[in-house]
Amino acid sequence: MSAPDPATPRLAIDELIACPRCDALHRAELPHAGERAICRRCGTVLIAPRAGSYGRILMLATTIMILMFGAVFFPFLQLRVAGLRSDASVFDTARAFAGGNMAPLAVAVALLIVLIPVLRVLLISYVLAPLAAGRRPARHAAAAFRLSEDLRPWSMAEIFVIGTAVALVKLADLAQVVLGPAFWMFAALVVVTVLQDGFMCRWSIWRALEAER
């Protein structure tokens, strides 16, 4: 370790922001209203606060909860073979698998496509609802937000939609397949989740959580 160069201005660690894509270090500054801070090297958006974004994220969180309820309990698809019809929801399917040796699969599917996305929505709402109302952050809000960010890669509703779409193409040779409302709700869920992520400026949220501690 060498002594710090006196010519280099000393910056506190929380004044710096690293680009998540290329690691370039920047001095963080809140952009003016309607502007956003992008990485000087690769152009990744670093800070993009938007007026009213907390309220919008909370509304999208409510939308996700409603869509998830329908996606789990409404018929996902209908199979028609030789005059026979069969409707199945994701809930029915998970329950059918729960007894046999496919139980671990049923548990994994329930966790990755339903429980983790729902938990993330609840955590984000818990963190942002007080901020949207202009109040102090709730207790343990920082820990809740960290957990929600840690769970992000494990929230796999979109992979499920792509996976079933692929499986249905195969199945279409054997039986007539009709997509139920739940399939479209899952598809809408993927879009709404992407929208919600787009509204969420992590830097602004962390700063709001830190300022009040």
Question: Which residues bind to Zn ion, rule: CB under 5 A?
Answer: 19, 21-22, 24, 39, 41-42, 44
5 C-beta neighbours (distance < 10 Å), count: 8
Q: Rounded to 10 degrees, what is the CA torsion of 40, 43, 44, 48?
A: 80
**Nearer Cβ to Zn ion, position 23 or 210?**
23
Both tokens of residue 33?
């209203």
Q: Are 76 and 183 in contact (CB under 8 A)?
A: yes
Q: Are 128 and 208 in contact (CB under 8 A)?
A: no
**Nearer Cβ to Zn ion, position 39 or 58?**
39
Say how far apart CA 188 and CA 55 lie, in whole Å: 20
**Nearer Cβ to Zn ion, position 41 or 152?**
41
Q: Please, what is the minimum distance in Å from the beta carbon of residue 35 to Zn ion?
A: 18
Q: Please, what is the minimum distance in Å from the beta carbon of residue 45 to Zn ion?
A: 10
Torsion sign over Cα 47, 50, 51, 54: negative
- Side-chain-side CA neighbours of residue 79 (13 Å): 13
Q: Please, what is the minimum distance in Å from the beta carbon of residue 44 to Zn ion?
A: 5
**Nearer Cβ to Zn ion, position 47 or 109?**
47
Q: Please, what is the minimum distance in Å from the beta carbon of residue 23 to Zn ion?
A: 7
Q: Please, what is the minimum distance in Å from the beta carbon of residue 47 to Zn ion?
A: 13
**Nearer Cβ to Zn ion, position 45 or 147?**
45
**Nearer Cβ to Zn ion, position 24 or 132?**
24
H-only helix segments in the chain = 53-73, 90-98, 103-109, 116-132, 141-151, 157-171, 181-199, 202-211
